[in-house]
Amino acid sequence: MRREGDHEPIGADEPGVQQDRDHYRELQKQRQRRVAKLLVALFITVVLIVFIIQNSARVDIHYVFFTAHNRLIWVMLACSILGGVVGYLIGRPGKQVRFHKKPEEDEQKKP
């Protein structure tokens, strides 16, 4: 927070300093997004666990080739895990996205 009479630091208006500030702000935004995603995932996990525990009765499960008499808790847990694995594999970014360079690295390599 700036107060009246405070001076700008030396070199604060240089392009490199501004790029550093922008990069730092972007990192903060990414960190906040990660925390928000983690909180949502934690909430969904807790709701799912409570839902699974409440539905622990034995039921007939009709698989493709046979029928079994299992607890519903195991079927729902297996479906949740499979859904998480499939979601992770589909949502995972490719290598070209993960290994991007900062703009200043590109400029330094140019002759």
Count of domains in the chain? 2
Distances in Å between the Cα of 65 and the Cα atoms of 19, 61, 83 are 61, 11, 22
Dig out the tokens for 99 from the structure: 């290994």
Residues 18 and 43 reside in one and the same domain: yes
Please state, in angstroms and rounded to a whole number, the distance separating the CA atoms of residues 35 and 27. 12
Q: Is residue 3 part of a domain?
A: no
Buried b (16+ CB within 10 A) or exposed e, 82-93: eeeeeeeeeeee
Question: At which of 22, 39, 54 does a domain end?
Answer: 54
- Residue-wise pLDDT for 46-95, tens only, equals 998 888 788 878 889 888 899 999 888 888 888 889 998 998 888 877 65
User: pTM score, two decimals?
Assistant: 0.48
